[in-house]
Amino acid sequence: MQFQKISTPSLKDLFVRELENKILSGELKVGDKLPSERELAASMQVSRAVVNTGIAELEQKGFLIIKPRVGTFVEDFYRNGTLETFSSIIRYNGGTLAKDETRSILEIRIILVNMAADLAIDCASDKDIRTLTKIADSIDENNTNDEIIETTFKLYHQLAFISGNVVLPLIFTSFKELVCKLWLRFILNNGKATLIANNKRLASLIASRDKAAAKAHITDITKEAISGKHNILD
């Protein structure tokens, strides 16, 4: 059995995390000008090389903007950030998101899951569809919430995989930790039977290749989670 070497965060990583926390907490606000690299290095007791590379990384993530001969400023990261920015926001919030951010994720999820269903119904083989159905049926063997949530993720990941779009499974996996927490909140608010029924209904509609009904089902259950009878935002 082999084990990977345990490593501590570098000074650059610690510098980046410190500035991210100050920005995300609002201590540093959009438009604020940072002290010079020399001042930052002195106050944080790191080298200017650490500050320089850290600022470059924060600019790439969308947290800062460097204006030559003017200075470095806090950027509007919601407008100009990337998926790396989003990952930092989730990490800062301990893996959870505020109400508006959660709603936004669910709205995007409607688009992505509908896209996966649309493509899968058009191009997935009967064998692929049977695999999807088996995953949905296997949920009856689950006893704990964690098992149900893991099977739910497997179902949606399989749907993304059989869509034939090679990027969709990667996107679904990237959001796994977050959506699993949302499914747990759904179960706690509405019971596991509702989530299980939703999963089986989706698999059944995909199996019958009923594109309109499948997309309507995906849209309806997600909208119910946003503001309907199965609301998970409040």
Q: How does pLDDT run across 4-15, given as a tens digit for each residue?
A: 565 677 999 999
Residue in this structure with the two tokens 């993304």, named with its chain if needed: 160
> Which structure tokens are listed for 231?
């609301």
- 11-85 and 96-227 in the same fold: no
Mean of pLDDT values over 67-78: 94
**CATH architecture, range 11-85:** Orthogonal Bundle (1.10)
Taking the C-alpha atoms of residue 139 and residue 142, their distance in angstroms, rounded to an integer, is 5
Query: Between helices 48-61 and 37-44, what is the axis angle to 10°?
Result: 110
pLDDT at 115 over 80: yes
Q: CATH says 96-227 is which class?
A: mainly alpha
pLDDT grade, residue 201 (50/70/90)?
very high
H or E segment to which residue 3 belongs: none
> Which structure tokens are listed for 178?
């977050």
Please state the domain extents for the chain.
Answer: 11-85, 96-227
Q: Burial of 164 by CB count in 10 Å (0-12 exposed, 13-18 middle, 19+ buried)?
A: middle
